[in-house]
Structure 1
Amino acid sequence: MAHQHHHHHTHHHHQASNNIKVAFFLNLSFAVFEIVGGLWINSMAILSDALHDLGDSLSLGLAWYFERLSKKGRDHSYSYGYKRFSLLGAVINSVILLAGSVLVLLVAIPRLFHPEAVHAPGMILFAVAGILVNGIAALRLNKGTSLNEKVVMLHLLEDIFGWAAVLAGGIIMYFFDLPVIDPLLSLVITCFILYNVVKNLREGLKILLQATPAHIEMPALEQRLEKLPEIRSVHDLHLWTLDGTNHILTMHAVVDPQVSLDQSEEIKQRIRTAMADLEIHHVTIELEAAGQACGQPECGKLQQ
């Protein structure tokens, strides 16, 4: 049975990596095609979406690389494993997208006041191609069950909506002489990218700075721990997350001085069980008797 489970896990992991790889090459090829085409038909909206696709290609490439790298467990160089590398990749990707978005805005804003002619049929053609390419990649990833695949698929669905907007703009400009629609579309797409980039960058930096996970309130966590019958109080409580999904907790708990070794193991197990539904699966616990010195310079309750 163990062998079958391992084989199934390995097969699924390989499939996830392959799905992301296919989506990566599709997106990267199309992003390069868009940049050339956007310059050719003189469309800022196409170039904005090219930036979006290029950003998604970087995300896909990093996701593919880290899907493979995550097979590596802990080692002497990285005792917590390699999960945080994906976070570093996301921060780098966000900075690149931020710089690209600023460049697009610098070109698009003056065009609002001095619109330039755009090749509307070419714009429509690119929009249809964009919907098809991203749609194929999204369908491929829709069959996957890994978190990486689901996150990447959401990026691709965002792209499809972006291309639908470009398609609508191209059709309007085909029938009406309204070249201002192109820089307007470009601004909407770029602002949408910027909103998501800033949000992701903030989250990434908070995790790198070892902030507590946003969905867990520390006072409520303390109360939950102190409700366990054997625990008198808790202190020196530290909670952080490796990558937004894998959380780590270290703590000191004050217990009755007469607690035996067997009882202390039971207490630790109860603490770990109490933390499991908060997605805290890595818990390090030090038990102390009342009045015993903590031994840490920063021991004590958390400040409000």
Structure 2
Amino acid sequence: MHDHHHHHHTPPQDRIATAFFLNLGFSIIEFIGGLLTNSTAIMADAVHDLGDALSIGLAWLASKLSDKPADHHFTYGFKRLSLLSAVLNGVVLIGGTIWVLSEAIPRLWAPEMPHASGMFALSLLGIGVNGYAAWKLHGGKTQNEKILNWHLLEDMFGWVAVLIVSLIMMLVEWPILDPILAIGFSLFILVNVLRHTYTSMGLFLQRTPDPELLKKIRHTLLDLDSVNDAHHLHLWSLDGEKHVLTVHLVSEAPLTAMQYQQLKQQVSDSLADFELAHTTIEIELPEEACRDISH
């Protein structure tokens, strides 16, 4: 119980650092293992793990920098760096996976028998290393940690597939299984990485992180007695976890100083449950022209 509690309070940087060093060390072992066993599936995973290691290193750096306090150049702070690195991670992995496919597909026509018992030994190591690294990142809330955790889980399941294929090839001489595995694994990764990169890119371009959440916020604000209308309602995310809201509210009637103060308090109370990182609320009087023309 104590371990679980401690695990979730480990800073993201520490979790990402562990995954980085594990992946970098293991990808070097894989390249050597891939050459020794003559396996495209293992070389495919070596390239993929090296891509992961570079991505994790970038995520680690971005995660450290994103905790820097805001300054007069970056007034919102540096949280969006982790989102930028999540996008770059995706691009690196997409490129690496396409390269692997270009290597593995020609082998379908000229398959070579790999060293099956060597593949089996490496797969056991791969399951252990990637499984442990994925466990270290499990429970992370940033977009970066989610993407990296997904990569590591994919790698672990990839090694399970290598384990099964190597066992079959120890019994039967079917060399074509090796490039088939490399291609299948690469296509699976490509689909998922494209999906995650699309999500990160959307957040980076300030797409609403959750349309349902935006709808709930709008209803909550319009349900307030003194509020007649809400426009210029913008919800975006700094890093996939910390959201920012700006809105113009139109009051039902002209307000006294006391009523204005009360409305501000009502707005504050109604938004408390949404746990927004930053809010900017402008209150306009009924006949007042909005300063920002476009809605």
User: Which interval holds the TM-score relative to the shorter structure?
Assistant: 0.7 to 0.9
> Once the 2 structures are TM-superposed, how far is the Cα of residue 155 of structure 1 from its aligned partner?
3.7
Equivalent in the alignment of 1:272: 268
- Residue identity opposite 2:123 in structure 1: A
Q: Any gaps of 5 or more consecutive residues in structure 2?
A: 1-5
**2:246 touches 2:281 (CA, 8 Å); kept in 1?**
yes
Q: 1:79 to 1:176 in 2, by over 3 A?
A: same
Equivalent in the alignment of 2:234: 238
- Residue identity opposite 2:18 in structure 1: V
Q: 1:197 to 1:73 in 2, by over 3 A?
A: same
1:249-264 to structure 2, matched below 5 A, reads 249-264=245-260
Equivalent in the alignment of 2:290: 294
Q: Which segment drifts farther, 213-222 or 74-83?
A: 213-222
Equivalent in the alignment of 2:141: 147
Q: Residues 122-168 of structure 1: CA distance to partner in whole angstroms, max 9, x if unpaired?
A: 211211111222234345556xx653596344543332221111111
Find the aligned partners of 1:85 and 1:54 in 2 and give their Cα distance: 22
**2:248 touches 2:284 (CA, 8 Å); kept in 1?**
yes
* Residue aligned with 1:57, SS: helix
- Give the TM-score normalised by the residue count of structure 1: 0.84
Residue-pair matches, total: 286
Match status 1:69 vs 2:56: no
Equivalent in the alignment of 2:49: 53
- Residue identity opposite 2:49 in structure 1: D
**1:138 touches 1:156 (CA, 8 Å); kept in 2?**
yes
1:27-38 to structure 2, matched below 5 A, reads 27-38=23-34
Equivalent in the alignment of 1:4: none
Q: 1:217 to 1:26 in 2, by over 3 A?
A: closer
**1:169 touches 1:182 (CA, 8 Å); kept in 2?**
yes
Q: 1:283 to 1:18 in 2, by over 3 A?
A: closer
Q: 1:259 to 1:96 in 2, by over 3 A?
A: same
Equivalent in the alignment of 1:283: 279
Q: Which segment drifts farther, 55-64 or 172-181?
A: 55-64
Find the aligned partners of 1:50 and 1:269 in 2 and give their Cα distance: 56
Equivalent in the alignment of 2:120: 124
Q: Which segment drifts farther, 190-199 or 259-268?
A: 259-268
Q: 1:202 to 1:237 in 2, by over 3 A?
A: same
Match status 1:161 vs 2:193: no
Equivalent in the alignment of 2:170: 174
- Residue identity opposite 1:147 in structure 2: K
Q: Residues 2-35 of structure 1: CA distance to partner in whole angstroms, max 9, x if unpaired?
A: xxxxxxx9xx56x653343232111111112212
Find the aligned partners of 2:137 and 2:195 in 1 and give their Cα distance: 24
* Residue aligned with 1:268, SS: helix
Find the aligned partners of 1:215 and 1:185 in 2 and give their Cα distance: 39
Find the aligned partners of 2:193 and 2:272 in 1 and give their Cα distance: 31
Q: Which segment drifts farther, 107-116 or 255-264?
A: 255-264
- Give the TM-score normalised by the residue count of structure 2: 0.87
Equivalent in the alignment of 1:5: none
Q: Residues 157-211 of structure 1: CA distance to partner in whole angstroms, max 9, x if unpaired?
A: 3322211111111111111011111111111211121012101111122112211
Identity of matched residues, %: 43
Equivalent in the alignment of 2:109: 113
> Once the 2 structures are TM-superposed, how far is the Cα of residue 228 of structure 1 from its aligned partner?
1.0
**1:120 touches 1:173 (CA, 8 Å); kept in 2?**
yes
Q: Which segment drifts farther, 113-122 or 15-24?
A: 15-24
* Residue aligned with 1:147, SS: coil
Equivalent in the alignment of 2:205: 209
Q: Which segment drifts farther, 39-48 or 94-103?
A: 39-48
Find the aligned partners of 2:239 and 2:12 in 1 and give their Cα distance: 19
